[in-house]
């Protein structure tokens, strides 16, 4: 999971309701459309540059961890911390990957959150919840599969690229809706959200699966754990969506 991509998209939707009110333009010309196209391109590059800069900011990385631990608490089980530290150190040291020049070395922490989840921030800070460790029964190989997946999000800077593409899609469809009045704005927001999930987020999740598999196997972990990990993750997702406790 790329941390902050969904929250940033939500911010885009809110901003869009301010900057693009539900009114149809009176006149449309080629120059106006060209200007709007340049605006979409500008939104993409602006969003991409902003998040990439954040991802190369040491102070932002430190703040990511502080905020995460302030919200979720630091794990109190020394065995959990030792387990995750050992796995991450091994993945970072022995895994087959190359960080980009505008990326930071990985940092990580275990939180006291009971939620079955882990995530990588744009700053290459990886957060691992106590609930994930419990859900996978502290299985070293299955945890390595999850953490390799999250590392790949950071290595390939998925948060930055996903947010930039989401921004471009949102602004592009907003411009179209202003000009042509295609649909209700609430429906437009829902359509953009679906498009981003299907065409932006999902492909990067598959990419993170592949990259995580390579990292964990090159670091000497059992690759068969990946299949078991996804089964557990799928069950957890179904339960969360159904509202089960």
| Per-residue model confidence as pLDDT tens digits over 178-213 | 555 555 556 656 655 655 566 667 888 889 999 999
The two structure tokens encoding residue 45: 């590059």
pLDDT at 184: 56
CB count within 10 Å of CB 26 equals 5
- Asked if 220 and 139 count as a contact pair (C-beta separation under 8 A), the reply is no
pLDDT at 34: 46
pLDDT at 17: 42
Low-confidence ranges of the chain (pLDDT < 70): 1-42, 171-200, 226-245
Q: Which residues have C-beta within 8 Å of that of residue 174, sequence separation ≥ 6?
A: 16, 19, 20, 188
SS3 102: coil
Domain ranges of the chain: 5-18+27-240
- Asked if 55 and 157 count as a contact pair (C-beta separation under 8 A), the reply is yes
pLDDT at 159: 87
């Amino acid at each position: 999971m790329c941390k902050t991509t969904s929250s940033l998209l939500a911010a885009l939707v809110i901003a869009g309701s301010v900057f693009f009110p539900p009114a149809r333009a009176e006149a449309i010309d080629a120059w106006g459309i060209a200007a709007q196209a340049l605006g979409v391109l500008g939104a993409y590059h602006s969003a991409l540059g902003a998040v990439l800069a954040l991802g190369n900011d040491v102070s932002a990385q430190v703040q990511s961890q502080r905020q995460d631990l302030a919200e979720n608490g630091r794990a109190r089980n020394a065995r959990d911390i030792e387990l995750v530290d050992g796995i991450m150190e091994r993945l970072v040291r022995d895994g087959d990957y190359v960080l980009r020049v505008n990326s930071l070395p990985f940092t990580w922490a275990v939180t006291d959150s009971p939620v079955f989840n882990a995530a990588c921030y744009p700053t290459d800070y990886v957060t691992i919840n106590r609930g994930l460790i419990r859900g996978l029964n502290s299985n070293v190989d299955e945890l390595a599969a999850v953490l390799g997946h999250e590392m790949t999000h950071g290595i390939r800077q998925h948060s930055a690229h996903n947010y930039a593409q989401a921004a471009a899609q949102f602004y592009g469809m907003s411009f179209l809706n202003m000009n042509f009045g295609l649909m209700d704005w609430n429906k437009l927001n829902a359509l953009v959200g679906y498009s981003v999930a299907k065409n932006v987020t999902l492909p990067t999740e598959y990419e993170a699966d592949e990259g995580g598999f390579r990292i964990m196997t090159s670091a000497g972990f059992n690759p068969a754990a990946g299949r078991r990990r996804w089964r557990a993750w799928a069950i957890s997702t179904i339960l969360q969506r159904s509202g089960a406790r």
